[in-house]
Structure 1
Amino acid sequence: MIKAIDPIKKLTTFLLIGLFLLQGISLQALTLQVSNDPFKEARNFIHHDNKEEALKALQELANSAEQEDNMQLLLDTYHQFSLLYLELEDLETTLFYWDRAGVLLKTTEYPYGDAVHKYINAVLLYRSDNNFQAMRELNEVKRLTNDKNLLNHILLAEADIYLKLDKFEDAKTNYNALLVNSDNLERSFLATKANLGLARLHKKLEDLESAQKHGEAAMEIALKNQYFREIDRASRFLAKTYEELGDYASALKFNKKILNLRDSIYNLNRLEAQNKKANQIKFDQFAKTLEDLEGKNEELSASANRSEITAILTSAFLTIISILAVSLYRNNQIKLKTNDLLQTKNSELEIARDAAVTAMEAKMNFLSTVTHELRTPLYAVTGLTHLLLEENPAEHQKEHLKSLKFSGDYLLNFINDILQINKIDAEKLEPLNIDFKLTKVINDVIDSLQQNAKDSKTSLVVNIDKNIPPTLLGDPLKLSQIFMNLVGNALKFTKNGTVTVIAKLKEHTADQVTIYFAVSDTGIGISEEQQKNIFDSFEQGSIQINREYGGTGLGLTIVKSLLGLFDSKINLNSAVGEGSTFFFDLNFKVKETYEEELTFEPSVDDYNFEGLHVLVVEDNKINQVITKKMLNKKGITCDIANNGNEAIDAAKANEYAVILMDIHMPGISGTEATKQIRKFNTQIPIIALTAISMEDSLDEFFEAGCNAVVTKPFKPEVFYTKIGENVFGSQTTSNS
């Protein structure tokens, strides 16, 4: 029997045990080492999954420790009991023995026992996903002991934590160290665990062959030493791995091994005997605790000594304090667990965020590169088509050339839409704030779409509120894009009907107006189900609509994104067969003074290009030929520079009316070449001809010294007009 302990301590101990029995915690098995290794026999029974014999051996050690009053051996036995029940997933009994060990530690100076107790707590934290706290606790354990066996189990626990945190290199280092461990107590068992850990690690890395190799190694050691639980775990792992490798014969072999193993180990008679023994030992421990307490209560009842009454009161007080302390401790543990979980989740969210940003950047870079590269051959298609149409082709050829031109224009619009979406997603578009006339913006859009309206036999009606100030401050280009997409979309789905554009003054303050815009049509309409995703990319309601009406399905997405730049939102009212109305509000600053609008705008025919000599800077041979022929059509001669360096040399040696500068070239770019030319010639007009990409900025071209920018593939009339504007200025020369 254990020597008498102070009654206050025993009463407090019992109450604490009762409180801890309400908790349940899961923990991995550990085998302890003390002098002369009294647990060797119990350890073997545990590894061989013989619970009944392991419990008998541990009970004998506990009885011996109590008879000899060996508190350290009793402590180790309690820890061993708790570890065994952890392996069996009997959490209540596990905590009972672990708490008994903890109570004894309060009255026993035993550093190794403290280390094991902290180790158990570390694994508890790991099992509860408090990985960072678990690592801190393991570091504390290493400070308390140099026991080789315990340190090896710490290596294994750290490796498992590293694996859970996807720190594969750190986990691999620890597992590999355990493969060659020199542990005198559990060398083979630890090597089995390490091989299983490496197998799981390589599985996460999708290296199935290495995973299979380590799984087989674990199986070989487990079979040799009859570690039945590890045989079962290795069999399950290998069955799954071989199935993923497509080796179904091997997978079937290990599935059969699992069944045979379970039949040989987990039969009903054996389970009944083991459970009976476990319950008997547990009952004996509870009965002994109650017997000790009853004996002490009788001693106190028989005593009339005031000091003993005081002791009872003191015991009650201490018990209350202990309960409060335990409650605070548990609350603090919950708080720590929550903080650790939040830290883990934040790390996971940061990783997910970084991965999403990387994926988005990769997508944008890919689309930007594709759209830019497509523009170069598309320039050849549209340019050659234009030249062929001007060379008086036969009537039967005109139809084919016009179809080719239409296809080129369609593809160009598609590329522009993708580039526009990318720029908006990448936040590379910012609204301008310049003065413009709303009436001109809307009428220009309507004029450009009149041919589409004629083709669909649809009337275009414009209704602009006269109370709207003539001149506003805003972004006319993006407003034009919005109306171009909305009106173009309405015309596409309306035949023999009407499309109406409305601009109505909604609110007018001293320096700002709010305008209501709407685009209505009498077309096919949109069902309620289709309206849910009509503003998503590449959505047109249905496959049938896409096939019948064509288009990219990006127009409304662009409208939605552009309006987002102005903190506005697109709205829709529609019903099938009754048409659709898209409407939104926009705020504009009002310009206090304005000038009368000039109605004259020069056209290509207003310029006399005969005799002009220009420099074409272009690295693509086909583009050189096309640009040269287009210039010759207007009587313009040219020199060709294949790169930026040649352009600089040519500009120094010759006089040109204008330089047509490609931007994207090998060696120095067109932007850099323009900067170099501006150092010795600030007067010559330089027009940037570029298949502009998402990374390009018009401001960058102008800052380098360009006078204008023409996007390839360009329309011939735009090309000639830009040359005329920059060579002749606002004065036309047709009559000179």
Structure 2
Amino acid sequence: MKGKLFYWAWSIYRDIVYSGLTHVSNKEDRKKIIRFNQFIILALLVNSFSVITYFYHKLYISALINITAAYLFLVAYYLGTKRKLIAGRILSIVNVNLYLIVMCFIEGLKAGDYFLFFPYFLALTFVVSIRRNYKELVIVYAITIYSLILALIVSPYTNDIEIITDKLYSSLYNGNLAIAFLLTMVFSYAILRVNKDNEVLILQEKRFGDTIYNTSLDGVFIIFKQTGLVASCNQRALDLFELKEHTEIEGTSIDQWFDEDHIKKFNSIEKAVFGNTNNWQGELSFTTKNGKTFPAYVSVVPFIHKDEHYIKISILDISDVKLTEFELMKAKEAAEAAVKVKSRFLSNMSHELRTPLNGIIGASNLLLQEEHLPAQEPYLDTLKFSSEHMMVLINDILDLNKIEAGKLELVAVPINMNEFLKKVIAQFTGQINSKGLQLVTDIDQRLDLEVMADETRLNQILSNLLSNAIKFTSHGSITIAARQVMASSTRSTIQFIVRDTGIGIPKAKHKEIFETFTQADVDTTRKYGGTGLGLSITKKLVNMYRSELYLESVEGIGSTFHFTIELPINENRKMYINEHSAKQLPLLTGVHVLLAEDNPVNLAVARKFLQKWDVNVTEARNGREAVELFRPGIYDIVLLDLEMPEMDGAAALKEIRKTDDQIPIVAFTAAVYDNMQQDLIQKGFNDFIHKPFRPEDLHAKIHMRLHAKRA
């Protein structure tokens, strides 16, 4: 039973004390409400006890005054619960003071009601926080003291408003004294409890602050601004400077912990910081007790505490960051060196491989043009096909290297899209027919227009797709389609499609086949061959046109590759000779060419074509011989190989330019490297032509340079 009563009483007390906190989140405001509610509860208890006592002694006026005071306390409590705490507190303070003044006047000073002013002073200290509301407490105290003085002045010693005997006066006096004493003890205990809680809270906050201070990753110095001495430091600062005790650093000059080169810099920073009260962040170097220097990211913050100027220096050790930066720099330099070595290696290898291939391809072309036995033709075709296939592989590797290095750039030259597609199809018609496949073409008639594109790279994309389609198709058809999806007066959007009825690609391999050196599976590689570079290069080239290469394939049914690119339309259309007419090259009678080439096979091939065009050829076996043979006014154009013994092409060009700076000189070379055209022009060459060369290209270069010279 007692437990139930206690629980019931505690529930009521808790509901009253914690009422009005629903919409309050601030910790300090919550404390104010709780203390105010506790004060109201205690005041109501005192009023209730007084009402019972006064009714017992038949002092009905005093009882009525207490009931009125209790009612006003309830109104103040109500205002507090309705988020009007200030109004409630004002009402309660006014109520207490008026109550005590009236009671002293009604009962007289002999009853001792003025004793209740003393615990009321303590109650004010309990309700109003001295630390946070000092002015408010002073005002409330002043009002209360004034009320006490007023009560003592206006109240008689005894009063006959109520019938109070001497015995009852003695009882009232002793009762008020006892209540005052009891309330004084209660509020004293409450104040002590609050102070103790505040002290514990302060200590906890200090320990929490010290924990944060000492567990910070930054070393922290607190410096006296005027003297430059270290006032305090945290544990991390001791660790950074290899110290054990705070006394080893506190009281020392901050200058002795800086690297010598950074002392003046810090002093200037210190003056600037206090001059404009701004913070500073940057890198500085420090020296430990053992002479070890380490870099740090430093934050300098000025502040004032108790009229004393301080500087807070936060030090973050960035030695590991600097070491990582150094390692990254070394790795970057190593990577760049490796790229240069790789590029140079590929350039050299391309020259070494292209040089003999040039001879093979040139010789096979010459043999096919000369009279030969019918039985020899299959072997010559095989020789031509194999050498050209080897050249394709070399070009793939070089192109992949350029793309990965970001050095491959698309050029924009005018091409007739319809004629271009016819040439692409013509390249593969023989292979398609030889396998007994059907060739299906679907070329949009609207593509008879001239666009600006990189003909070589676009041809490479379509050739790779068609080569794969033919390779992996044994029966059925090969389809190449091109459609104009959208067009304006300046741009044309074209979709290219290559479809086959071959072996198809498993869905799980659709992404994998676009990776470098990857094919669908090992059996495919074993059966069909290939390096796995074609689709990877093709996808990267399509990406350079800001497009994507898409695949649709079903295993055993076939594959479809398609992509869409937007190309600018060339407004000034030009007609181009087709492949058939390109072979009908006009003669270059009367033209005298100095040809410098150290490889006898390549020299013979070039000489043979030049002589077919009725060109007068003077041969040089190396650069030095070319310089000795050159005379101004004799030659119309010079073809120089870049890499020759005794004197290379670049050195020979310099010597020739000393005697004739107008003669057209074309680099005749098998080398390939980044920014080749720009590099050769800077060296003094007018143009260049790759070996193995197409006869049409060589003829065009000579004709163009002669025309430019005469103009």
Task: Give the structure-2-normalised TM-score.
Answer: 0.52
The 1:491/1:620 distance shift into structure 2, 3 A limit, reads: same
- Structure 1 CA distance for aligned equivalents of residues 581 and 536 of structure 2: 35
Superposition pairs of residues 12-411 of structure 1, within 5 angstroms: 101-102=245-246, 136=285, 139=287, 141-142=288-289, 151=290, 348-386=327-365, 399-411=378-390
Tell whether the 8 Å contact from 2:689 to 2:698 is kept in structure 1 after alignment: no
What is the identity, as a one-letter code, of the residue corresponding to 2:622? N
Tell whether the 8 Å contact from 2:432 to 2:470 is kept in structure 1 after alignment: yes
What is the aligned partner in structure 2 of residue 580 from structure 1? 559
Q: CA deviation at 1:678?
A: 6.7
Which secondary structure does the structure 1 equivalent of 2:631 belong to?
helix
Q: CA deviation at 1:389?
A: 5.7
What is the aligned partner in structure 1 of residue 438 from structure 2? 459
The 1:587/1:612 distance shift into structure 2, 3 A limit, reads: closer
Which residue of 396, 415, 425 corresponds with 1:436? 415
Deviation string 1:1-51 (CA, Å, 9 cap, x unpaired) is xxxxxxxx9999998678767999899xxxxxxxxxxxxxxxxxxxxxxxx
- Structure 2 CA distance for aligned equivalents of residues 358 and 11 of structure 1: 63
Tell whether the 8 Å contact from 1:603 to 1:721 is kept in structure 2 after alignment: no
Tell whether the 8 Å contact from 1:458 to 1:495 is kept in structure 2 after alignment: yes
Q: CA deviation at 1:726?
A: 6.0
Superposition pairs of residues 423-572 of structure 1, within 5 angstroms: 423-468=402-447, 470-572=449-551
What is the identity, as a one-letter code, of the residue corresponding to 1:564? N
Q: CA deviation at 1:449?
A: 1.5
Tell whether the 8 Å contact from 1:446 to 1:460 is kept in structure 2 after alignment: no
- Structure 2 CA distance for aligned equivalents of residues 22 and 592 of structure 1: 72
Deviation string 1:530-556 (CA, Å, 9 cap, x unpaired) is 222212222222232122222332222
- Structure 2 CA distance for aligned equivalents of residues 522 and 684 of structure 1: 56
- Structure 2 CA distance for aligned equivalents of residues 637 and 17 of structure 1: 99
What is the aligned partner in structure 1 of residue 82 from structure 2? none
- Structure 1 CA distance for aligned equivalents of residues 589 and 660 of structure 2: 24
Which secondary structure does the structure 2 equivalent of 1:417 belong to?
helix
- Structure 2 CA distance for aligned equivalents of residues 645 and 654 of structure 1: 19
Which secondary structure does the structure 1 equivalent of 2:630 belong to?
helix
What is the identity, as a one-letter code, of the residue corresponding to 2:411? L
- Structure 2 CA distance for aligned equivalents of residues 479 and 404 of structure 1: 27
The 1:664/1:517 distance shift into structure 2, 3 A limit, reads: same
Q: CA deviation at 1:700?
A: 5.2
Which secondary structure does the structure 1 equivalent of 2:445 belong to?
coil
Which residue of 590, 594, 599 corresponds with 1:615? 594
What is the identity, as a one-letter code, of the residue corresponding to 1:421? L
- Structure 2 CA distance for aligned equivalents of residues 377 and 596 of structure 1: 35
The 1:360/1:513 distance shift into structure 2, 3 A limit, reads: same
Deviation string 1:121-140 (CA, Å, 9 cap, x unpaired) is xxxxxxxxxxxx99955x0x
Deviation string 1:48-98 (CA, Å, 9 cap, x unpaired) is xxxxxxxxxxxxxxxxxxxxxxxxxxxxxxx9xxx9xx9xxxxxxxxxx97
Q: Percent identity?
A: 31
Structure 1 gaps of 5+ residues are: 1-8, 28-78, 87-96, 116-132, 143-150, 163-320, 323-327, 731-736
Which has a greater percent of helix?
Answer: 1
What is the identity, as a one-letter code, of the residue corresponding to 2:432? A
Tell whether the 8 Å contact from 2:595 to 2:638 is kept in structure 1 after alignment: yes
The 1:557/1:656 distance shift into structure 2, 3 A limit, reads: same
Tell whether the 8 Å contact from 1:515 to 1:587 is kept in structure 2 after alignment: yes
Q: CA deviation at 1:725?
A: 5.0
The 1:495/1:707 distance shift into structure 2, 3 A limit, reads: farther
- Structure 1 CA distance for aligned equivalents of residues 357 and 342 of structure 2: 22
Q: Which moved more, 1:408-417 or 1:392-401?
A: 392-401
Q: CA deviation at 1:691?
A: 0.1
The 1:592/1:614 distance shift into structure 2, 3 A limit, reads: closer
Q: CA deviation at 1:111?
A: 9.2
Q: CA deviation at 1:672?
A: 6.0
Does structure 1 residue 642 correspond to structure 2 residue 621?
yes
The 1:604/1:701 distance shift into structure 2, 3 A limit, reads: farther
Structure 2 gaps of 5+ residues are: 1-198, 218-234, 258-281, 296-304
What is the aligned partner in structure 1 of residue 692 from structure 2? 713
- Structure 1 CA distance for aligned equivalents of residues 211 and 602 of structure 2: 84
The 1:105/1:349 distance shift into structure 2, 3 A limit, reads: closer
The 1:627/1:25 distance shift into structure 2, 3 A limit, reads: same
- Structure 1 CA distance for aligned equivalents of residues 576 and 360 of structure 2: 38
Q: CA RMSD in A?
A: 5.0
Tell whether the 8 Å contact from 2:418 to 2:448 is kept in structure 1 after alignment: no
Tell whether the 8 Å contact from 1:604 to 1:724 is kept in structure 2 after alignment: no
Q: CA deviation at 1:493?
A: 1.5
Deviation string 1:620-667 (CA, Å, 9 cap, x unpaired) is 344335544665677766332133343244231674565433233356
Number of aligned residue pairs = 454
